């Protein structure tokens, strides 16, 4: 049976979109991956760009509010920023909650090249985290 995974962030524009993309790629048919925010800010075009650079197309992702998924029985809820963890709604399912606070690349400052470099740095952190999550919770023999 597929596990439902929710990646939760403040605005569902950058960090949650990055992790959604990597988990979807790494898990394929083993899980249904959703992402949402406690607010909705729209998918950040720079997030789409840096994921495309790594071969993952998230251009069709949408920015969704967490309330849209209230009826989905999630096995895992992954928060990727402290704000989302603090205000994360209580889900009726016995979802396992995982948390990792990533810097918000949307708050990056500097030249356009420096901002893009900060997006890439966060993308690379998120990719490593996705690989760790999949290796820990979805490895052969691990409960899904």
Is 14 part of the annotated catalytic residue set? no
Instruction: Say which residue the tokens 């849209």 belong to.
Output: 68
Is 9 part of the annotated catalytic residue set? yes
Catalytic residue among 31, 81, 84, 122: 81
Nearest to 35 by CA among 3, 78, 2: 78
How many residues in total does the chain contain?
Answer: 144
Is 88 part of the annotated catalytic residue set? yes
Catalytic residue among 88, 108, 115, 116: 88
The two tokens of residue 50 are 């840096």
Beta strands (DSSP E) in the chain are 3-9, 31-37, 76-79, 96-99
- DSSP-assigned beta bridge partners for residue 97: 77
Catalytic residue among 5, 7, 8, 9: 9
User: What residues are annotated to the active site?
Assistant: 9, 81, 88
């Amino acid at each position: 049976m597929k596990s439902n995974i929710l990646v939760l962030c403040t605005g569902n524009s950058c960090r949650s979109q990055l992790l959604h993309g990597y988990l979807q790629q790494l898990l394929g048919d083993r899980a249904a991956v959703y992402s949402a925010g406690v607010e909705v800010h729209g998918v950040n075009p720079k997030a789409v760009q840096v994921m495309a650079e790594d071969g993952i197309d998230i251009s069709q992702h949408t920015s969704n509010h967490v309330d849209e998924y209230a009826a989905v029985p999630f096995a895992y809820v992954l928060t990727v920023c402290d704000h989302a963890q603090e205000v994360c709604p209580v889900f009726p399912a016995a979802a396992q909650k995982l948390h990792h606070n990533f810097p918000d690349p949307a708050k990056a400052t500097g030249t356009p090249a420096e901002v893009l470099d900060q997006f890439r740095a966060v993308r690379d952190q998120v990719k490593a985290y996705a690989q760790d999550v999949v290796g820990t919770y979805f490895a052969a023999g691990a409960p899904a």
